[in-house]
Amino acid sequence: MVCLGCLVDLVDLVDLVGLVYLVYLVYLVYLVDLVCLVCLVDLVISSISFVNRREKKVNARKGKSSMFKPACPPPWLAPSRPSDTADRKS
């Protein structure tokens, strides 16, 4: 089986006319899948690396490190403001 992703990867190996002819032949034989497992894994890996690169660029612009931010404490553990405690006592 050949998938469309694998055929697109062949662009580097053959010229455009050869690729069009190859796609036409494969369609005639009905051996085309939309996506194969290899292309699906490649797509997931490239998506993750793209997101990581974009996050690094955004963090670099903001002057932050690429490490994850610490989570905010839940409201019941957050320190209360003095005005809140004064309202509760009265």
Q: Dump pLDDT digits (tens) for 16-67.
A: 666 677 667 666 665 556 667 777 777 777 777 777 777 777 777 776 554 5
β-strands 32-33, 2-3: how paired?
parallel
pLDDT of residue 42: 75
pLDDT score recorded for residue 38: 74
Give the pLDDT score at 77: 66
pTM value is 0.35
Residue 32 falls inside a structural domain? yes
How many C-beta neighbours within 10 Å does residue 14 have? 13
- Any domain includes 46: yes
Whether residue 74 is contained in a domain is answered as no
10 Å Cβ neighbour count for 3?
A: 19
Domain hosting residue 7, numbered range:
1-60
Q: How many domains, in total, are found in the chain? A: 1
**In the chain, helix, strand, coil percent, each to 5?**
65, 5, 30
Beta carbons of 32 and 3 less than 8 angstroms apart: yes
Give yes or no for residue 90 having a pLDDT over 60: no
pLDDT of residue 41: 76
- pLDDT at residue 68 greater than cutoff 60: no
Structure tokens at 66: 């690429």
Query: How far is 90 from 87, CA to CA, in rounded Å?
Result: 6
